Amino acid sequence: MSLNTVRHDYKITKTDREKLHSHRSFLLWFTGLSGSGKSTLANLVEVELHKKGISTFSLDGDNIRQGINKDLSFAPEDRTENIRRIAEIANLMVDAGVVTLAAFVSPYIEDRENIKTIVGSENFIEIYVNTSLEECERRDVKGLYKKARAGEIKNMTGISAPYEAPVNPDIEIVTDHQDIEMSVQTILDFIIQKLK
């Protein structure tokens, strides 16, 4: 960090931007194993919010790693930096008055707690997409589990790297036993009052 920087405070605030958008802004953080359905759920929730005239933006793990975080590996320290950078980006989006949806494995509790520190706990909604490893492997949308089992991928969450499940998430979606429409509605029901 440069010692020669000074934070500049602008006259337009988050509250001003929320008034312009006619809704509150916050971060919806979808966490869970690869293949759990995080991105699918975030996408469908965003579609429904868009229909209601809510200003939104989605941040997705794969998309971010093709751009701003393409220099990071999947080693534990790079995973932590990946999440820190995303939290900082999300914080800017929330400050801009936009409901931000972030779909990231984010396997470590400490990293997810750090997100709350960056965006503020009042702006953070943790959504645990709780899907069994067996179901994620059955889906294996990207073929990652097959590669991990064959030893072609190192540091694969759930196989050769840990996933620390949220202890007390705001919302828990068990996709093994709940259809996608009901899962989306559960999330919308939880956040709709928070938009006001």
Question: Angle at the Cα of 186 (from 181 to 191), degrees rounded to 5?
Answer: 125
Q: Is 158 annotated as a binding residue?
A: no
Give every CB contact of residue 77 below 8 A, 6+ residues apart in sequence.
none
Q: Is 188 annotated as a binding residue?
A: no
Q: Is 32 annotated as a binding residue?
A: yes
Q: Is 120 annotated as a binding residue?
A: no
Q: Is 55 annotated as a binding residue?
A: no
Q: Is 132 annotated as a binding residue?
A: no
Q: Is 38 annotated as a binding residue?
A: yes
Q: Is 106 a catalytic residue?
A: yes
Q: Position of tokens 């820190």?
A: 84
Residue 172, both tokens = 């828990």
User: Could you say which of 55, 58, 106, 183 is catalytic?
Assistant: 106
Q: Is 33 annotated as a binding residue?
A: yes
Continuous segment of H or E residues that includes residue 118: helix 109-119
Q: How many CA atoms lie within 13 A of 161 on its CB side?
A: 19
Q: How many CB atoms lie within 10 A of CB 88?
A: 13
- Residues of each annotated binding site for ATP: 32-39
- Residues of each annotated binding site: 32-39
Positions annotated as catalytic residues are 106
